Amino acid sequence: MNVRIEALAEATCVIPEGRLDFDAAPGFQEALERALGAPGKAPAALIIDGAALEYVSSAGLRAVLLAARAAQRAGVPFALCALQPAVREVFDLSGFSRIIAVHPDRATALAQAKPGRA
Amino acid sequence: MTTRRTAVPADPAQLSVLTEFLREFGSAAALAPAQVGTFELALEEIFMNIVMHGSQPGIAPRVEVSLNLGIESVTMTVEDDGPQFDPLSLPPPDVTASLADRRVGGLGVFLVRKIMDTVSYERIAGRNQLRMSKRLEG
């Protein structure tokens, strides 16, 4: 799996491409940690853009959960967006879409991530 | 009737081998991509469960996977010769817990139960056997 990181003014976007399975989860977790940055250098918000994410298993959910928790501790708004239907289903079944914000597309996620909206 | 069978050691490196095996079955059985994805998820969760919980020091169980396309459904059977363990006995995760309290343990098996129509466990002749099926779509 390839992971791209785009640092925008409003948020840092993490873009996983392909399969987020047991093999890919450690690398993805590392990318999320990198995107959250060092203390004092945190992004305005952290968004996982799932437009190119084809598959997720519980190993991938775990990486997302850990990042969501780290973001919460750091006071960084955290959200998912543009999930494909099969991936969205896994987030829904696991109950994760109840505890993590999920937006239909990146534009909505960026608009929601503005300071004071977290 | 399309049937496939393979066996691998319970080693994480075999996950990609099993995924390929499943995809080959999916195309031979002309399954919809979404249906193949459902079985990929179930196989990863069950296989990794055996890797994590079924191995003893120095011994990796042997895992046998068989797939069968029936008239109305697809059945997948995963067998291993590791210690007796019924994954269906795991308590379900609390999917209503808050972000801070949420645990990931047991989530894999929980997902398998949700995405499959039937899941059953049996201990047969010293082997764990997990059998799953899902109705064909469309």
Which A residues in the span 25-54 are in contact with B, Cβ-Cβ below 8 Å?
none
Query: Is A44 within 8 Å of A118 (Cβ atoms)?
Result: no
A6 to chain B, any CB pair closer than 8 A? The answer is no
The pLDDT value given to residue B106: 82
Q: How many CB atoms lie within 10 A of CB B4?
A: 17
Q: Which of B82, B41, B119 is nearest to A60 (CA)?
A: B41
The pLDDT value given to residue A118: 44
Task: Tell me which residues of chain B have a pLDDT lower than 50.
Answer: none
Q: Which of B129, B102, B117 is nearest to B46 (CA)?
A: B129
Write the pLDDT tens digit of every residue in A14-71.
Answer: 999 999 999 999 999 999 999 998 777 899 999 999 999 999 999 999 999 999 999 9
The pLDDT value given to residue A109: 96
The pLDDT value given to residue A115: 59
Cα dihedral sign, B51-B53-B58-B62: negative
The pLDDT value given to residue B138: 64
The pLDDT value given to residue B68: 98
How many Å lie between the alpha carbon of A20 and the closest alpha carbon of chain B? 11
The pLDDT value given to residue B56: 80
Which residues are registered as beta bridge partners of B76?
Answer: B67, B132
Determine the Cα–Cα distance for residues B92 and A105; give it in Å rounded to an integer. Answer: 31
Query: Is B123 within 8 Å of A86 (Cβ atoms)?
Result: no
| pTM to 2 decimal places | 0.94
Contact assignment for A65 to B44 by CB distance below 8 Å:
no
Given the DSSP bridges, would you call strands A46-49 and A78-81 parallel, antiparallel or unpaired?
A: parallel
> In this complex, how many residue pairs, one in chain A and one in chain B, have their CB atoms less than 8 Å apart?
65
Write the pLDDT tens digit of every residue in A2-16.
Answer: 999 999 999 999 999
Q: Among all residues of chain A, which has the CA nearest to that of B98?
A: A99
CA–CA–CA angle A67, A68, A71 (5° rounding): 85
Residue A89 has pLDDT above 80, yes or no: yes
Q: Please name each of the domains of chain A with its CATH number.
A: 2-112 (3.30.750.24)
Q: Please name each of the domains of chain B with its CATH number.
A: 3-135 (3.30.565.10)
